[in-house]
Amino acid sequence: MREFLRRVTERDPDRIAALYAEEVDWMVAENPAVPWIKPRPARADVAGHWADLAAHTVSGEGWATVGAIVVDGAEAVVTGELGGRVAATGKTFRSPFALRLTVEDGLITRHHVYEDSLAVAAACTPDATA
């Protein structure tokens, strides 16, 4: 778990993806307003997630704090809060999160994120013009 968090902090999509199995049970609440949220069923897709996130948010303004890490055998849950600024709109978002990972044979096979997807989508949506 600590290696995963370290690599996420480094923000190197390929190094993060290297921790995942070839096939991944990936679940993040789909929302067409958020360009980095989409199905990611394979390791190469996982790298795309982190690259898309970096491309659509303002560098240096993203953050996350970890509240708790719970590990039980192959299962791990990380809770905390995250935030950032969307490049296209300039809007910020902030959300509590829970991340559930399953590790099998040393690789992540499940990646489920629970977050305030409405807050993230609102930050990605341009304001209406009159």
**pLDDT tens-place string over residues 17-29:** 999 999 999 999 8
The mean per-residue pLDDT over the stretch 118-125 comes to 96
Q: Which residues contact 95 (CB under 8 A, 6 or more apart)?
A: 81, 82, 83, 115, 116, 117, 119, 120
Instruction: Classify strands 20-28 and 63-72 as parallel, antiparallel or unpaired.
Output: unpaired
Please say whether the beta carbons of 102 and 110 come within 8 A: yes
Alpha helices in 43-109 (DSSP H): 43-56
| pLDDT > 80? residue 128 | no
Q: What is the pLDDT of residues 29-43, one digit of tens each?
A: 888 999 999 999 999
Give percent above pLDDT 70 in the chain. Answer: 98
Alpha-carbon span 125 to 113, nearest angstrom:
21
Average pLDDT of the chain is 95
pTM of this structure: 0.91
